[in-house]
Amino acid sequence: FGKLSRVRHVITYSLSPFEQRAFPHYFSKGIPNVLRRIQASVLRVVPPFVAFYLLYTWGTEEFE
């Protein structure tokens, strides 16, 4: 059932799940990469959130 079509000139490779490493370079490259991405995008994300939070608190105080 899995071979419904025949594809020519395509090479596929597979690796046994027992030969794979689950979290390669997780602590040495993964976490610093996340911190770098957060640091790069914080100036684009935080100011709108702060502005809308201040607008929301001002609106609720005016409503009360």
Q: Is the pLDDT of residue 56 over 80?
A: yes
Confidence of residue 53 (pLDDT cuts 50, 70, 90): very high
Say which range, 9-13, 43-47, 50-54, has the weakest mean pLDDT: 9-13
Place of tokens 């502005």: 51
Which pLDDT belongs to residue 7?
A: 76
pLDDT value, residue 2: 63
Conformational region of residue 25, where left means phi above 0, alpha means psi within -120 to 50, and beta covers everything else: left
Domain boundaries, the chain: 17-63
Tell me how far CA of residue 2 lies from CA of 5, 6, 13, 14, in angstroms. Answer: 9, 11, 17, 16
Helix, strand, coil % over all residues of the chain, rounded to 5: 60, 0, 40
Instruction: Please name the fold of domain 17-63.
Output: 1.20.5
| Residue pLDDT, tens place only, 4-38 | 777 788 877 777 777 777 778 888 898 999 999 99
Q: What is the pLDDT of residue 27?
A: 85
